Amino acid sequence: MHRSTSRSGQIGRATAVAQSTSRRAAALGAGAIVASLVASCLGTVGAPGGGGGPSASVSGSSGSYTLLPARIRRLSNAEFDTTTHALLGTNQTFASNLPTDVRQGSYNAGGFPAAGFTRNAAAVFDTVSAPQIGQAAASLAKEAVQNLSKIAPCTGPSNTACAKSFIESFGPRAYRRPLTADEVTGLLGIYQAGVKDQTYGDGIELVIATILQSAGFLYLTELGGTPSNGAAELTSYEVASALSYFLTGGPPDDTLMQAAAANALQAPQAVGAQATRLLKASSMAQLAVFVEQWLGIDTPPGSSTGTVVSSAEMTSETTAFIEDVMTSGDGSVGSLPGQCRAWSSPLSTSMAAWTAGAGLSTWWTPVGASTQTC
């Protein structure tokens, strides 16, 4: 992926400022998804700090093209949960307790209150959300060290050496990239502060809590490597994160991280192969969420408007329908409004009652069955 050098970005401990760039898919089939991902995850971008606007144009052997701006974005509330689940194996969830995600291009879509993308570079962790992230980090760290022998075993004579080994293994998974020497030194200092007059576990707990509140964990970067002629390519680690969070809503798996470590995510064929693998290994639920937010239908009014159908039912039915269009249909946007199919099989009792009351029961057929034109 290439990003424009015309945008500078700096990550603070709990704040970041960046302008967002809208990305919209024209087709949703697996092949189109892979193609669009390869196009968006590879290319030439401008180096941060170049000045002059949000994007830039460059010329090459294949012609002129516009670069995307370098950017930093925070994890959405849902991504915070999926990332901590993958990192720590926890079942704790905090998304519903955090301030509502800022939405890109927010607008009111026919009674759906907050249309727009929750994943965007306009959102930051501010003075309101930072204390809540701190509480979540403390709770997660406290739980993690209850199984200290698994997360940070230490059988050697030096607890400090064990702590350093833990930092060097846990840190890269949390930051989704290798740690710098300064980061290792800083985190080891955190451990030493936590262990003073306390136990090894107390030191590890403080390290985990610190990492979960750090910019390296809370933010995703698309800044690229060393700039050349006003442009920079995303690093393989940035490509791995961009690919994984878009397709799965969570951090890169071991296979993606190994590819990033080998710098094997710079060629379109390699990125396409990884995208295909992820699509086969996971459900289409995350891509369905993308479509729902694009269309402004991910937060239906449900029972709040007096209907007998809850928001949760509407959401699950819609997600199932979109997943079916992507997996069993032709995957095109045009297929979304042109079919009359139930969103799950069988319909929930309340959903069936609603369709019957609206005179739609003869139009709707279970997902997977033959379709009709509305």
Q: CB-side exposure of 260: number of CA atoms within 13 Å?
A: 23
Q: What is the mean pLDDT of each run of 10 residues along the chain (374 residues)?
A: 42 27 33 51 53 54 71 91 96 89 62 63 80 96 96 92 97 97 97 95 98 96 86 93 93 97 95 92 76 73 52 71 73 67 54 58 48 48
Does this model's pTM top 0.85? no
Domain ranges of the chain: 2-74+220-281, 300-357
Cis omega (within 30 of 0) for bond into 346 = yes
Tokens 């990125």 locate to 271
* AA identity, residue 180: T
**Residue 8's pLDDT is what?**
32
**Residue 16's pLDDT is what?**
29
Q: What residues are paired with 56 via a beta bridge?
A: 67
* CB neighbour class for 159 (10 Å; exposed up to 12, middle 13-18, buried from 19): middle
Tokens (6 digits) for 52? 């002059």
**Residue 207's pLDDT is what?**
98
Distance (Å, rounded) from C-alpha 259 to C-alpha 193? 35
